[in-house]
Amino acid sequence: MRAWPGRRQLGEPPSWKGVESRQEEAARVKVPTMAAWRCSRSLLLLLLLLLLLLLLLAAGVDARWSGEGTSPHLQTIFLGRCSEYSKLLSPEQRVKNCTAIWEAFSVVLDKDPCSVLPSDYDLFINLSRHSIPRDKSLFWENNHLLVTSYSENTRRITPLCDVLYGRVGDFLSWCRQKNASGLDYQSCPTSDDCENNPVDSFWKRASIQYSMDSSGVIFVMLNGSDPNGAYPVRGFFADYEIPYFQKDKITRFEIWVMHEIGGPNVESCGEGSVKILEERLKEMGFQYSCINDYLPVKLLQCVDHSTHPDCALNSAAASTQREIPSLYEELSASLIIPFLVTLASDAQI
């Protein structure tokens, strides 16, 4: 019988050489397949890592700055405040073009959020500034809400947040996106991020102008319960207000060191940082006086804490109570405090 090459004849034992050949061939096919699979898996992992990195970078952009993002409806709020405030001005000062004021302000919204200088607000200040009544300026540190409550929309006194150029920006935030046009509503830089940020530069420029326009008796409200001291030796008042007072326009300074109801008494007149402020004013040739817990403001604080021991009526009030007992019998404590606030405010102002 003829034997065909490579073909086993009947009864012939199997050739292990052929089997080995087929196994080697299968192995050669399998090796590239495994290598390709491993390569694909590595590529997939690389793509996943890149995607994760992009997500982290995107999250980092959103949380780039440490401050609040641009206030929603910024322009609407700005124009509304401007229009409303104009009604408080004297007739000769009411001619304020709020649209032009907004346009001058909004120039900074096209600038890099870390490259906005106080001088960028010069035109805005020039268009919005107005005179401040004599003996009505109130400077402050670390008690913003108490100041606005006491001023009562310029009725008692006129702090920076109650002049036109301060009112339009009070409690608001604004900035452009870092690497794109348009406002950043996610976050805006503070002094922790960069010095020349839009909001700090705004208040620096506004503070300088407010100081230059103030006259007569200058009132200063400090927080004697602040753990870092009542008078920050580096702050807006120290760096951007005190240096710009016009000495020939100032009669004297009156400092009020207020302590929070139920809060700690960290500093008072003549102590710690308050003493530093007093010495600075003295060196500059200014007359000054200092009052702990100025009564009209203290009574205002007590409106919300009428039963707290810190708000107990003193001996003078007690003697008044003995003279008019029927009045105190009819009025509750919650009504007495606002009544005293009105009397004290009218008497002082």
What residues have CB less than 8 Å from 330, skipping those under 6 apart?
none
pLDDT-derived band at 1, boundaries 50, 70, 90: very low
Residues 8-30: what's their mean pLDDT? 54
CATH number for the domain including 282? 3.40.50.720
Give me the domain span that covers residue 280: 74-311
Element (H, E) at 223: strand 216-223
What residues have CB less than 8 Å from 246, skipping those under 6 apart?
212, 215
Asked if residue 339 is part of any domain, the answer here is no
CB contact at 8 A, 137 and 218: yes
State the total domains in the chain.
1
Asked if residue 27 is part of any domain, the answer here is no
Cα gap 246→45, rounded to integer Å: 68
**What pLDDT score does 181 carry?**
86
Asked if residue 324 is part of any domain, the answer here is no
pLDDT in tens, 249-303: 999 999 999 999 999 999 999 999 999 999 999 999 999 999 999 999 999 999 9
Asked if residue 201 is part of any domain, the answer here is yes
**What pLDDT score does 50 carry?**
74
* Nearest to 255, CA basis, from 234, 235, 271: 271
**What pLDDT score does 34 carry?**
59
* Nearest to 150, CA basis, from 301, 292, 265: 301
Residues 116-140: what's their mean pLDDT? 98
Average pLDDT in the chain:
84
* Nearest to 276, CA basis, from 335, 324, 229, 208: 229
Asked if residue 139 is part of any domain, the answer here is yes
DSSP, collapsed to helix, strand or coil, labels residue 247 as helix
CB contact at 8 A, 267 and 273: yes
Asked if residue 301 is part of any domain, the answer here is yes
pTM of the model: 0.74
Asked if residue 6 is part of any domain, the answer here is no
CB contact at 8 A, 296 and 345: yes
**What pLDDT score does 32 carry?**
54
Strand 216-223 and strand 137-141: the pairing is: parallel
Asked if residue 1 is part of any domain, the answer here is no
